[in-house]
Amino acid sequence: MATGRPAVKAPELDLKHLERMYGFRNRQDVIGFIRERPHLVPLLLEAKTRIEKHFGKGVPVVLEVSVDPEADREDSELFACIQTPLSVDEAHERMEHLDKDCALSAFVESAGDFCVDMEFV
């Protein structure tokens, strides 16, 4: 049965879901990056769960595309920047636990163009 509404593609629904979970820095760059690499969607969903496990539920995480100015666009990378008010020592300890999380390590390695980092706020 037709509803009169245009069909929404699954990738667009995925992007809307990710926008509810993450902040996007330079939104068009992030959206373009994810559209070009749809394999990142399940990784980003899992990453948010793992980040909250180690940094607390609701911790702000911002996605940003980092491009090496001396390289081509193929060398760009998507960063998930955990925004934390924790002390440097506490944040690094939690990041070490996150890095040791086997599930996170496995999927980050499989993507090759996604990285998790921290921003102190």
What's the pLDDT band for 71 if we cut at 50, 70, 90? low
| Domain CATH for 107 | 3.30.300
Q: Does residue 2 lie within any of the structural domains?
A: no
* Interstrand relation of 61-66 and 23-24 (parallel, antiparallel or unpaired): parallel
Q: Is residue 112 one of the residues assigned to a domain?
A: yes
Report the SS3 class of residue 94: helix
- pLDDT computed for residue 103 by the predictor: 61
C-alpha pair distances (Å), 100 with each of 95, 108, 120: 9, 12, 21
Residue 46 placed within a domain: yes
Decide if 42 is inside a domain: yes
| Angle made by CA atoms 33, 38, 42, in degrees to the nearest 5 | 115
Q: Which domain holds residue 63?
A: 10-120
Say if 29 falls within a structural domain.
yes
In a domain, 3, yes or no: no
pLDDT value of residue 110: 61
- Structural domain count of the chain: 1
Would the pTM of this model clear 0.75, i.e. be above it? yes
Residue type, 63: L
Assigned domain for 4 exists: no
Q: Which of 103, 120, 2, 106 is nearest to 53 (CA)?
A: 103
Confidence band, pLDDT 50/70/90 cuts, at residue 107: low
